[in-house]
Amino acid sequence: MPRKTVFQASVEFLQILDEDAKLDAKLAKDTLTDDEVKFLYEQMIINRQLDEIAFKLQRSGRMGTYPQNKGQEAAALGSGFAAKKGSDYIVPCYRENGSMFLHGLPMHYVLLHWMGDERGNQIPDGVNVTPIAIPIGTQMLHATGMAMAFKIRKEPRVAVTYFGDGATSEGDFHEAMNFAGSFQAPVVFFCQNNQWAISVPRETQTNCETIAQKSVAYGMPGIQCDGNDLFAVFRATREALDRARAGGGPSFIEAVTYRLADHTTADDAKRYRDPEEVEAWASKDPIIRHRKYLEAKGLWDDAKQAETEARAKTIVQEIVRAAEGIEKPSVEEVFDSTFAELPPEIRRQRDTLRTSSIGQEPDQAGLRAHEEARA
């Protein structure tokens, strides 16, 4: 029997606003208005200011380890802006501050999280954002499950989940992709390919020419876009969301961007990254690109820049005050968010602040009966 080709695939790259701020008007049609670009540009500045202050908070011992979002603001903001606030769900990793804020997460919650205060993970009612996910890849499974619930309930909602290029080497990624593809779950898998999985370069992370082509194995559309281009990110995400909402199942987006800062404040990227590479990507900084675009259209100038930067500093100062000024939690709060109704032995621990019910008796098998007899 002769050989024959049974399947072929290709991956499209989408760029609308290039590194020199030149816009492809045809591709940009029906994407972002000038006012929307201005708004998102302002959000970039605010998020960058928060990043810089968060770095200083960590260095001064006022906060724990922090992963900067620097250089990746357009990917988070463009995709988050495409999703429907109050309907779709944002399921983040830990470099999507802009998307979470667009969907209503109070900005000081991010600082609380990295300060080790669990209240930063207690998402307010009505905010469709899940807590920041530190384990690599686990949130993709959560997003797929949520999307399946939307499908079963016949709700026109979509889950958008974020992760880095390194997460595509995790088993959770493949399980989530396979399940979503098999059952046509309305979920958008959004990969922020920032070229580095901590100190492992993308070329070592995978032998694939693109990250987006991994979608082929799971029977879902995949696209690679310029992650530093608000227009391209918005269009790619909106198309994926519309497809999912119409019953077309999941999609995969690879947003090509770069981590301009260290992996976290506990990392020193100078030890493994070529300075020339960092410098080359710094010239593609989304803040620089979109400012050039707005200035070329006569929509931005030095005065507006200074005014926005000053406003960003004021906003971030208020965020820091809110995070550092929060009342200390009571001991009882440790118990309040775990059970809908506290079991007797846990209630006893809360009321007595003693753990006599969980291990101070040598006869573990008879522990419960012993405690009930004492009660």
CATH of residue 276's domain is 3.40.50.970
Give 324: exposed, middle or buried? Use CB within 10 Å, 0-12, 13-18, 19+.
Answer: middle
Cα–Cα nearest to 331, from 354, 310, 309? 354
Give the torsion through C-alpha atoms of 174, 176, 177, 183, to 10 deg.
140
- Predicted TM-score (pTM) of this structure: 0.91
Partners of residue 254 on adjacent β-strands: 191, 224
Partners of residue 164 on adjacent β-strands: 192
271 and 290, same structural domain?
Answer: yes
Catalytic option among 48, 103, 113, 263: 263
354 and 259, same structural domain?
Answer: no
Catalytic option among 272, 321, 354, 368: 272
CA–CA gap between residue 248 and residue 240 (Å, rounded):
9
347 and 308, same structural domain?
Answer: no
Per the listing, tokens 């998307």 go with 99
CA 118 and chain centroid, separation: 18
345 and 270, same structural domain?
Answer: no
pLDDT, residue 186, reads 98
CA–CA gap between residue 329 and residue 348 (Å, rounded):
19
Assigned domain for 153 exists: yes
344 and 243, same structural domain?
Answer: no
User: Is 272 marked active-site?
Assistant: yes
pLDDT, residue 333, reads 81
Q: Which residues in the chain land under pLDDT 70?
A: 1, 356-375
pLDDT, residue 359, reads 54
Catalytic option among 48, 142, 259, 348: 259
- Cβ atoms of 88 and 130 within 8 Å: the answer is no
pLDDT, residue 57, reads 98
- Say how many domains are in the chain: 2
Using DSSP's 3-state secondary structure scheme, residue 200 falls into strand
Q: Which helix (H) or strand (E) holds 312?
A: helix 302-324
CA–CA gap between residue 192 and residue 251 (Å, rounded):
14
Helical ranges in 67-170 per DSSP H? 73-82, 97-102, 108-114, 138-152
169 and 101, same structural domain?
Answer: yes
220 and 357, same structural domain?
Answer: no
Domain span at residue 352 reads: 333-374
